[in-house]
Amino acid sequence: MTIGILIFPQVEELDFIGPWEMLTMWNLVAGGPKCLVVAESPGPVTCAKGLSVNPHVSFQDCPELDYLLVPGGQGTRTEVRNTNLLDFVAKRGSKCKAVLSVCTGAFVLHAAGLLAGRKATTHWGSLDRLRALGDVTVIEERFVQDENVWSSAGVSAGIDLTLAFIASVAGDEAAGEVQFASEYYPSSRRYGSHHDTHPSAPAYARDA
Amino acid sequence: MTIGILIFPQVEELDFIGPWEMLTMWNLVAGGPKCLVVAESPGPVTCAKGLSVNPHVSFQDCPELDYLLVPGGQGTRTEVRNTNLLDFVAKRGSKCKAVLSVCTGAFVLHAAGLLAGRKATTHWGSLDRLRALGDVTVIEERFVQDENVWSSAGVSAGIDLTLAFIASVAGDEAAGEVQFASEYYPSSRRYGSHHDTHPSAPAYARDA
């Protein structure tokens, strides 16, 4: 079993490395699938905040995938018009047991034809843009599962998405092993009041 | 102002990319310092779970640093005997306004002479090893600040450490901007019972 994690220029770092950490930990501590970072071409990819990462495989070399995760970032604004990338996501994604998006990766899934008619979410700053697509039911939760299509809110939300996905595939005990190994018992501290007072703050983050 | 983020072979991915995301977001949305990934030599570094990353600068090219963050991972077991790396951490770290460690990065700070006599923490699996050093007061919290030396628990805890560090340097509003932009309102969901029943589970993670 293999999970492909797509990257592209201006991909947001934590969007894919949060899930990467959880998925590779699953592989290490609880027998989860092998994980590969996949890019259109070989060679370094510069992320949105300037980190430089070398993919393991290009589209051409990429083996069969059982799962495909599509992260977000500023680069998605370009990639939703990259027919080579969309073709890869459409062809590979439609054969996968599940596809997952983080943040604005939802727009790549949509442009590849995998999100129409689904419930989904994205980064709070792009919820209205996701609604405007017209054929997605936008849910303001930390992450959303609609059958075999999973999507999360912005950036760090990919970690929560991935743990829930692991629990769904392998059970709560496996997810618990991953959570413990990566010591993911995050603080609930909220700094400032943006989560509650910003007009675009997502429903799930607002104070009760 | 510049923050250096140290990497080395077998560094744990999320240990440094969680903080990297928060710190570069601080730079983007609230005028935080510039961030650089620093390694001993130029060229790709393979992380603990197989991600390949290209550092921005080598020890030789590294500009003056105002802050230095040292992540953990299996590689720290080797790096605590790497005199070139320890020399870099000791010389640069002692000139910094603050040094921060994530996970087993605490052992690198200690080997570089920057942790003796301090309160600190590390990954739950290495708490006893940190106590055995004899000159560190081990605190089982998500993160610990002892004056200008900060340390966090394992892997994902570096994110909480970094937000608290940003709040300390630039105030709660700046930390709130970063938290909102990275949508860091994590789920409190705990899978399985390791956080409570495992004999090495850290005090802060246990059920009340």
Average pLDDT over residues B43-64: 98
List chain B residues with CB under 8 Å of A194: 176-177, 179-180
Q: What is the pLDDT of residue A207?
A: 82
What would you measure as the largest C-alpha separation in chain A, in angstroms?
48
Q: Give the integer Cα–Cα distance in Å for B68 and A88.
A: 40
Query: Percent of chain B, pLDDT > 90?
Result: 99
Q: What is the pLDDT of residue B207?
A: 82
What residues have CB less than 8 Å from B87, skipping those under 6 apart? B112
Q: Is A103 a catalytic residue?
A: yes
Residues A94/A120, Cβ–Cβ less than 8 Å: no
Strand order in the sheet with B45-46: A45-46, A52-54, B52-54, B45-46
Contacts 24+ apart (CB under 8 A), B26-31: B26/B166, B26/B170, B26/B174, B26/B177, B26/B178, B27/A49, B28/A49, B28/B181, B29/B177, B29/B178, B29/B181, B30/B166, B30/B170, B30/B173, B30/B174, B30/B177, B30/B178, B31/B170, B31/B174
List chain B residues with CB under 8 Å of A182: 14, 154-156
Q: Give the integer Cα–Cα distance in Å for A199 and A4.
A: 35
Distance from CA of A113 to the nearest CA of B (A): 26
Element (H, E) at A194: helix A194-197
Pick the CATH number of B2-205 from 3.40.50.300, 3.40.50.1440, 3.40.50.880, 3.40.640.10: 3.40.50.880
Q: Among B69, B187, B200, pick the best mutation site for testing chain A contact (most A Cβ within 10 A).
A: B187
**Which pTM was predicted?**
0.97
Residues B153/B143, Cβ–Cβ less than 8 Å: yes
For chain A, the domains span 2-205
Q: What is the pLDDT of residue B148?
A: 98
Q: Is A123 on the interface with B (CB under 8 A)?
A: yes
* Active-site residue, selected from the candidate residues A35, A47, A96, A103: A103
Task: Give the pLDDT means over successive 10-residue stretches in chain A (208 positions).
Answer: 98 98 97 97 98 98 98 98 98 98 98 98 98 98 98 98 98 97 97 93 90
What would you measure as the largest C-alpha separation in chain B, in angstroms?
48
Q: What is the pLDDT of residue B66?
A: 98
Distance from CA of A61 to the nearest CA of B (A): 17
Q: What is the pLDDT of residue B9?
A: 98
Element (H, E) at B46: strand B45-46
Whether A183 sits inside 8 A of B28 (CB atoms) is: no
Average pLDDT over residues B3-23: 98
Q: What is the pLDDT of residue B40?
A: 98
Residue B26 has pLDDT above 90, yes or no: yes
| A-proximal residues of B, 45-74, CB under 8 Å | 49-54, 56
Q: How far is CA B83 from CA A201, B11, B55, B92, B161, in A?
A: 48, 17, 20, 14, 27
Average pLDDT over residues B26-52: 97
